[in-house]
A and B are shown apart, each in its own frame.
Chain A
Amino acid sequence: MALLEVVDVSKVFPGVRALDDVSFTLQPGEVHALVGENGAGKSTLIKVLTGVYQPDGGQLRYRDEPARFDSPMDAQRAGISTIYQEVNLIPLMSVAHNLFLGREPRTAYGLLDEKRMFREAHEILLRYGVTTDVRRQLGTLALGAQQMVALARAVMIDAKVVIMDEPTSSLEPREVETLFGVIRDLHSQGIGIIYVSHRLDELYQICDAVTILRDGKVVHTGKLADLERLRLVSLMLGRDMSAVRHEGFTGFGGDHGGAEDAAPVLKVTDLNSRRKLHDISFAVRPGEVVGLGGLLGAGRSETIKAIGGAYPVDGGEIAVDGKALNRPTTVQAVKAGIAVQPEDRKAEGIVAGLSVRENIALAILPRMSKLGLVSDRKIDEVVRTYMTRLRIKASSPDQRVGDLSGGNQQKVLLARLLATQPKVLLLDEPTRGIDVGAKAEVQGLIDELAAEGLGVVLVSSDAEELVEGSDRVVVLRDGAVVGELRGDAVTTEALLETIAAAAVEAKEVGNDD
């Protein structure tokens, strides 16, 4: 008996056939990977399964009966739960309220039974490794913990099917292990899981079956174990296998490292910030890509933000081209030639409602205006230059950025940074959440920019990307520098070893307590 069947489902949007006769079957207790590049139709398919969209053709069969979900609530009631890529909970409400929202336990008088709610929330979350006070505001928790709350919520409503859209994108390795434990548990209870992820390692670790989407069509469906990794990638990309092999998995070229003796374009000395950063020092030479390695929470993002003037600094020196900036503000940092690409593209980067043109021009308006008036002609010129140079795919400069794919949004953001003509480019997870093809392109761009003499600082939780993209990797732990990899030592193994060595050290300290 199949748990959930998708039969010849189509969904058409103006100008796009997002789903084209898509069919696949989810068995009870199966972990089914759903993969494809961005724009392949994964998100649309999930929205059809969860009642956000109605299919234009074909049908859904749920537990051997034709099914129709008119709203997310409808699908939830039927037992289909979803965890979305970005945590979709209410940050201002307490952890327990988020967990129980819409199905709170009630007393005999119909009022909420908060005591029971807090107690049960605490018990449930312990199973997911979350020990925090459940009365705390959800928004004050780390992303990983929030994701666990979302997962607990999705599972606890007697779900028969759990859909996970990139559940690990904000988790630490340890948290991923907890998640996988939960998935195995669900699997043994006969719950079907649809697992969407870009991380191949995870897919092979946890999934039984796979369905590959490309351009709204199913190009492969079957057992995952029978499918070779390379074949999976080539099916996803629709490229020739040999081409994939030849290009490798990232779009980075070889070394470019600036001359060893060149004066550093960015020099950070003994940077301190509250309890987060301790005596961080490193230097970046023109034309060099310096990676910042470490686990989530090691202080990588904080370091980048501090350099960009967006994080409070208590001490230390930041110098650009030998000129010291003391506790820069964001405005001073931009003036000095520091450009920061923040980690959270949607919240801190692009303005989704504005056009490509406006987004690119945002940071350079002061430079483009005379007596407070903005010169349209000059802006058009800049926008055109960068759209061509970064190969931004948009119908016109006036298209809304929110309508572009993740990869193109990222390029728009890069264009805005480059338009300020920076000397140093700080990139925090530049390829997170964008599809494989666009990823390679962004990686290629980073290479090109370094080759043109920019100093680049790269933060990435993708070890392969960090190692292949960087000339040197500075490894952080707990807000301090614990090692640096140079030259031939820049390998994934060495990186993991350094991080792991640091962790072992930490454990010993912990045991002494």
Chain B
Amino acid sequence: MSTGIVSDPEVPAAVVAADERRAERTDRMVGLVQRQGALAVLIVVVLVATASFPNFRSFDNAGTILIAAAPPALIALGMTFVIITGGIDLSVGSLYVLGGVVSAYASQWGLIPAFLVPLAVCGVIGVLNGLLIAYTRMAPFIVTLAALLGARGLMRALSDEGSTTYLVRSDTFRSFGTGSFLGIGYPVWLVAAVFVLGMVLLSRTRFGHAVYAVGGSEDAASLMGIAVRRTKVWVYVMSGLLAGLAGAINAAKLGSGVTVLGTGMELDAIAAVVIGGTLLTGGAGTIAGTIAGVLLLGVIQNMINQVGNVPSSYQQVISGAFLAVVVVAQTYLVRLRRVT
């Protein structure tokens, strides 16, 4: 057994040092693959697509991929925080649709309400999720499943069983969704900014480290003086807010609150997060990985559209296969790290 203690009386120091170095090297390698695996695959897929489809490498197409990926990316960002704490948020797909409908409705009062009202509505549902999960110790799966059903019902009620479609009334809001800067849509810039904030929050603040600690070992975290319950409430609030924001962006893009989209979005988000190297069991993961995961799913979809004669449903088959491969690889990598 390699130990981290100096001068073990029974083993020559040189052997310990060599063992130690080897263990550290393996640890670093495995960590690298875990963190950057999705990025490497993304690069390979992009290279293959660029070589095979002349249309793929156009700047316009890149913009299309990014703008399509913007809302799911936000949802996956919130999901990353939730999953790192060892939880899950199934309500985000419903919140996304609800946020879109509410945003379109609120756009009659201008640009600011079109953003703030969905954030408020989805934020409140996030607070409820968080409080129930943190303080009653109910399973996140069940609590957020309830929120999924509840939010979907609320959306149906607001839209009269889906028969009323609210159109976006604010021109500024509409142009936010369709306009672009340097050839890249405004929503993409906004999402990029939110991701930078998210990255700083997760990797460079005490809150971010509390998120890892809670997922790594809840008991240990609480004994070490981490505010476990507060941390949990916040990640679900963030997840709700980000789903609401994603909904608003989508409403701005489409010009209306569409009620039929969003089913299964939560599962796509979970897939992207896990493909990005975040452990479903909590305690480890990165936002860079999630970006790679989201883009990977987006690029695959785009490629299938390019091929033309393949039904787009195959995108899901390929995404599913990717997910399976990643999970198997993760399991193997984690074990590799433990044995050494």
Interface residues of A (CB under 8 A from B): 72-73, 76-77, 82, 84, 88-93, 97, 101-102, 104, 106, 110-112, 114, 129-133, 136-137, 139-142, 144-145, 148, 153, 172-175, 178, 275-276, 295-298, 477-478, 499, 502-503, 506-507, 509-510, 513
Contacts and interface: CB of A to CB of B under 8 A. Distances in A.
30 contacts: A72-B225, A73-B225, A89-B224, A90-B212, A90-B283, A92-B215, A93-B209, A101-B210, A101-B221, A102-B226, A110-B205, A111-B204, A114-B204, A129-B7, A131-B20, A132-B24, A140-B23, A140-B338, A141-B3, A141-B4, A142-B2, A148-B5, A172-B3, A175-B5, A178-B5, A297-B10, A502-B10, A503-B10, A506-B11, A510-B14
A136 B12 CA distance: 23
Contact of B224 (A91, A102, A145, A172): A102
B209 A297 contact: no
B217 interface: yes
Contacts of B205: 110-112
B234 to A, nearest CB: 15
Contacts, number: 151
A142 B4 contact: yes
Contacts of B226: 73, 101-102
B225 A297 contact: no
A478 B11 contact: yes
A111 B200 contact: yes
A73 B5 contact: no
Interface residues of B, number: 46
B223 A72 contact: yes
Nearest to A52: B223
Given A112-B204, A132-B20, A510-B14, A145 B4 contact: yes
B87 to A, nearest CB: 16
Nearest to B20: A132
Nearest to A509: B12
Given A92-B284, A101-B226, A137-B27, A174 B216 contact: no
A88 B220 contact: yes
B112 interface: no
Given A91-B216, A132-B24, 14 more contacts: A88-B220, A88-B223, A90-B216, A90-B217, A112-B204, A130-B4, A140-B23, A174-B8, A174-B9, A275-B19, A295-B9, A295-B10, A513-B12, A513-B13
Nearest to A513: B14
Contacts of A144: 3-5
Given A76-B225, A92-B212, A93-B283, A137 B4 contact: no
B317 interface: no
Most buried by B among A93, A130, A275: A93
